[in-house]
Amino acid sequence: MSKPKSKSRRKFLIKAGIGTGLLFGTVYCIPIRRKIAEQVNVAESPYLGSTDDPKIWFEVTPDNQIIFHSPKMEMGQGVFTGLAQIAADELEIGIEQIKVVHASTELGNIDPFATGGSTSINSLWQPLRELAATMRVMLINAAADQLGVAASGLSALNGVISGSGKSITYGEVAAAVTEWEVPDTPELKDPKTYKYIGKPTPRVDLMDKVTGAPIYGMDAEMPGMLYGSVVRPSGLDSKFTAVDTTLAEGMPGVVKVIVEDDFVGVVADSYVNAENAKQKIKVTWELNKKWDDFDVEEAIKVGKGHPIEIQKEGSAEKLLEDGAEGLIQSEYFSPIGAHAQIEPNGCLAFVEEDKITIKMSTQVAEITRKEVAKRMGMDKDEVIIKPTFLGGGFGRRLHTPNAIQAAVMSKAVGKPVKCFFTRKEEFQNDSFRPPTHNVLKGKLTADGKIEAISHDISSGDVMHGSPLLPGILQKIIGADLGAWRGGMIQYHGIPNYRAVSWRVKLPFATSWWRSLGLLANTFAIESFMDELAEKAGKDPVSFRLDHLTETKADIRLAKVIAKAAEVAGYRNEATGDRAMGFACSTDVNTPCAHVAEVSIVDGEIKVHKVTCVMDPGLVINPDQVRAQCEGSIIMGMSAVLYEKMNVKNNALYPVIYGAYEMALMKDAPKEINVVLLENSDYPGGVGEPPLGPIGAAIANAVYRLTGKRVRRIPLRA
Amino acid sequence: MPTNFNLNGQQATTEADPNSPLLWVIRDELGLKGTKFGCGKAACGACTLHVDGKAVRSCSYPVKFIEGKEVTTIEGLGTPDNLHPVQQAWKEEIVPQCGYCQPGFMMATAAMLKEIPEPTDEDIDNNIVNVCRCGTYYRMRKAIHRASQLSK
């Protein structure tokens, strides 16, 4: 079981980069780049933090509890529960004996990457078991010393070590240890003996979350805390040129108005007073260009940005030339999407002479720490980030400029300052899901198989400009790996296929949004697959299966496709006023297929039932994997049926829930049937893959009801 | 002028401006953080609490309207040792993901069940109109039906 991790993605890229130093330019078609892109697409994500010292991961308390300091953030995805299950099994303790907390950066248990990309369980599966097993052996060895018996005669169960007629708890052992010895990594447990891994364990944060415990960044407090508020532009690409703070300074409760080169803020004695004072700050904004929806849609079109070929097999480009005989072509659009997580981005910071303490919801503690340290002219070790639970992440908290702002304001007033976005500011200053334009071309053989297919993906940036990937890597890859996610052709039985990623720089921040490009790219490809199937006169399910090979990835996808069709009882023809739509995709090595059962009610698309079959490999917690599927289906439905940000007069709208339409209770499917396959002994990603196929599954069902192809998100019947 | 009211069974008072939203009095002055800020415009329901047993979106509810009234927040709905049937049902169905919006949903549900003890799916669709970004609606619906059973 304990297979060694594949080589780190970053290490691989750096190595590849050294050999291709001259290729950083703007060359269009370079095999090595394509090779890297293909590797990235199927790479397992390594855990990049230190896993040397089990003691900083596990704190053993005298009352025989283990406090597990997680470097991964709990943002709803259930990672605390999954990690606790993994740790409990190797530690030989009951799950109720583990309390999972977010690791403070001062502890040293820091993840230099981020919580995101559906990588947490996958990346920690091996190291965490090794850490927990090592900790267990450390406790047994220490117990042997303390009891004066041989370690070989001792064993652990439920946090109690016993043997040779004696017994002692982990808590008692730890309390008496002065110096720990870290042994070689012991052998890991036989999977047959797992007590928690693979079992539907209730979430470890359930009680806090049903009783309203103060666990989020918004709830954080420090003695003497004040409230900050920052003036944020409503316009795109705006810089302020003049500020008049006179009126604001005289407002009730105001402690100080702070004018920096890059922001203006006010600190007051309450949230309400800070917000009221902010309204009185007069800021003159300089606009670089006037943008409207039309400009964005024009900018985003395939052909406008910078192209990189990310996938190539055979001669798709030539076969699908303009004017080629039998050419089938369709184009698809997706709009700007907002994160709309309910807890606004925010931060509580306290700057003191020799240290900065920060409590906040962040997906990137290490990056936040570095950014604050740099701005405040301190060493990063002097910045202590105490991460809290996140009131939704979805990529929104991979950018945390608000931490800098809170720190600057705290320093200015000498007290802790809590500062967060208003909802309007969230909607207008989000790092949005970029709009996309996808062009699919294909050609069929006489016997109704795909001879060639190509996919041009044009998107605003996701990876570029993000602090998550060093600039040099962004240059090496050239194309935006976030934007192309889900965009490669996954039907490897097609003899000629090709994918090209077009990068477009937009005048507003676009970035990581749960599943990145997967949502829009899968919508395009899987809609097109149905279009091709129809032209070929084939059933969409068997048509997909016809184009898969005997490779491991293709076999896993084929199994998921077949199972979904079987479980849902997939039919091509509408039954009464309902029809089914089929779609599938593989993301982070997790294949997933949806069958959506849809009707049109008063001109609106209604999703009644979704059957989801997913193969994430080894499942740690079936209940929480199901919860992620249900949530992804509903969030994905929301994004493809309702959500859209508009650019008007250089600003983004709407600025409030409701006007920004999202799925509500009434819209959620009444039935969601999730079936999990486990055709790999390694856990794959879970939090994003089930977002992929939902758009095309719905659009394909709509076509069966109306005969009309819907190629634009939000979908309209 | 102070505003006097009953908060989760205890007498409470605030000197806050009578037009201040109740949410911030509850959260920042009285220190109960279970009632959440989501939008400040009564559009998402994260701040839902009860005033005299009725669901109210406290981010847009001036404190002057609670004079002499009973305010119940999630902290007053039930405790870890004595969960309200709605909380118990939420726990049994394992509803929360990020959990941030859940107190608002639970308060909205508890208020609905007083008026409609055995809601149909349509009743739920019409009355539970808060926003959940994680998409927990599917389990919430099950939990609401379960809470209705547990309340009998």
A71 Cβ under 8 Å from any chain B Cβ: no
Peptide bond into A714 cis (omega under 30): yes
How do residues B1-28 score in pLDDT, each as one tens digit? 899 999 999 999 999 999 999 999 999 9
Structure tokens at A581: 């739509």
CATH class given for the domain over A301-338+431-706: alpha beta
Q: For residue A702, list its beta bridge partners.
A: none
Report the residue from B24, B98, B137 with minimal CB separation from A665. Answer: B137
Q: Ramachandran region of residue A569, left (φ > 0), alpha (ψ -120 to 50) or beta? A: left
B76 Cβ under 8 Å from any chain A Cβ: no
CA–CA distance from A292 to each of A265, A457, A458, A506 (Å)? 29, 22, 18, 12
pLDDT attached to residue A289: 78
Q: How far is A21 from chain B (nearest CA, A)?
A: 43
Residues of B in contact with A422 (CB under 8 A): 40
Residues of B in contact with A208 (CB under 8 A): 99
Residues of B in contact with A339 (CB under 8 A): 133
A361: closest CA among A593, A74, A709? A74
Report the residue from B33, B43, B128 with minimal CB separation from A665. Answer: B128
Q: Across all residues in chain B, what is the average pLDDT? A: 97
Domains in chain B and their CATH numbers? 3-77 (3.10.20.30), 85-150 (1.10.150.120)
Structure tokens at A108: 């040293």
A214 Cβ under 8 Å from any chain B Cβ: yes
| Strand-strand pairing, B10-14 and A226-231 | unpaired
Peptide bond into A470 cis (omega under 30): no
Query: What is the signed CA dihedral for A196, A201, A203, A207, rounded to 10 degrees?
Result: -110
pLDDT attached to residue A518: 97
A223 Cβ under 8 Å from any chain B Cβ: no
Contact A254, A273 (CB under 8 A): yes
A389 Cβ under 8 Å from any chain B Cβ: yes
pLDDT attached to residue A332: 98
pLDDT attached to residue A469: 75
Q: How far is B80 from chain A (nearest CA, A)?
A: 7
Structure tokens at A192: 């047959």
Report the residue from B73, B100, B137 with minimal CB separation from A391. Answer: B100
Structure tokens at A27: 């060359």
Q: For residue A498, list its beta bridge partners.
A: A312, A454
B15 Cβ under 8 Å from any chain A Cβ: no
Those residues whose C-beta lies under 8 Å from the C-beta of residue B101, and which sit 6 or more positions away, are A342, A391, B36, B38, B44, B45, B46, B130, B131, B132, B133, B134
Domain residue spans of chain A: 54-204, 217-288+345-420, 301-338+431-706
Q: For residue A580, list its beta bridge partners.
A: A597
Q: How far is A100 from chain B (nearest CA, A)?
A: 15
Report the residue from B20, B98, B125 with minimal CB separation from A390. Answer: B98
A212 Cβ under 8 Å from any chain B Cβ: yes
User: Cβ contact (<8 Å) for B134 and A423?
Assistant: no
For chains A and B, count residue pairs whose Cβ atoms are closer than 8 Å. Answer: 172
Q: How far is A424 from chain B (nearest CA, A)?
A: 8
Q: Largest Cα–Cα distance of chain A, in whole Å? A: 85
Burial label for A224, CB within 10 Å (0-12, 13-18, 19+), is: exposed
A210 Cβ under 8 Å from any chain B Cβ: yes
User: Cβ contact (<8 Å) for B134 and A635?
Assistant: yes
Helix (H, G, I), strand (E, B) or coil at A579: strand
Report the residue from A77, A211, A214 with minimal CB separation from B87. Answer: A211
Q: Ramachandran region of residue A59, left (φ > 0), alpha (ψ -120 to 50) or beta? A: beta
Residues of A in contact with B138 (CB under 8 A): 630, 634, 668-669, 672
Architecture of domain A54-204: 2-Layer Sandwich (3.30)
B132 Cβ under 8 Å from any chain A Cβ: yes
Report the residue from A270, A657, A663 with minimal CB separation from B44. Answer: A657
User: Cβ contact (<8 Å) for A635 and B41?
Assistant: no
User: Cβ contact (<8 Å) for A218 and B37?
Assistant: yes
pLDDT attached to residue A30: 63
Q: Give all strands (DSSP E) within A93-138, no chain letters.
A: 98-102
User: Cβ contact (<8 Å) for A631 and B79?
Assistant: no
Structure tokens at A556: 């896993």
Q: How far is B98 from chain A (nearest CA, A)?
A: 3
Residue numbers in chain A where pLDDT is lower than 50: 1-28
Determine the residue among A211, A276, A641 to mutate to test chain B binding: the one whose Cβ has the most chain B Cβ atoms within 10 Å.
A211
pLDDT attached to residue A12: 31
Q: What are phi and psi of A216, to 5 degrees?
A: -100, 165
Helix (H, G, I), strand (E, B) or coil at A440: strand
Report the residue from A205, A663, A670 with minimal CB separation from B121. Answer: A670
B106 Cβ under 8 Å from any chain A Cβ: yes
Beta-carbon neighbour count of residue B3 at 10 Å?
22
Nearest CA in chain B to A392: B98
CA–CA distance from A353 to each of A286, A383, B143 (Å)? 36, 11, 50
Determine the residue among B100, B105, B127 to mutate to test chain A binding: the one whose Cβ has the most chain A Cβ atoms within 10 Å.
B100
Task: Please give the Cα distance from A459 to A333 (Å, whole number).
Answer: 10
Residues of A in contact with B110 (CB under 8 A): none
Q: How far is A369 from chain B (nearest CA, A)?
A: 23
Residues of A in contact with B46 (CB under 8 A): 342
pLDDT attached to residue A22: 30
Nearest CA in chain A to B78: A211
* Interface ipTM: 0.98
Q: How far is A224 from chain B (nearest CA, A)?
A: 12
How do residues A308-326 score in pLDDT, each as one tens digit? 999 999 999 999 999 999 9
CATH code matching the domain that covers A217-288+345-420, chosen among 3.40.50.10490, 3.50.50.60, 3.30.465.10, 3.30.365.10 = 3.30.365.10
Nearest CA in chain A to B46: A342
Task: Please give the Cα distance from A461 to A511 (Å, whole number).
Answer: 6
Report the residue from A211, A272, A633 with minimal CB separation from B80. Answer: A211
Residues of A in contact with B44 (CB under 8 A): 342, 423, 657
Residues of B in contact with A670 (CB under 8 A): 121, 141
B141 Cβ under 8 Å from any chain A Cβ: yes
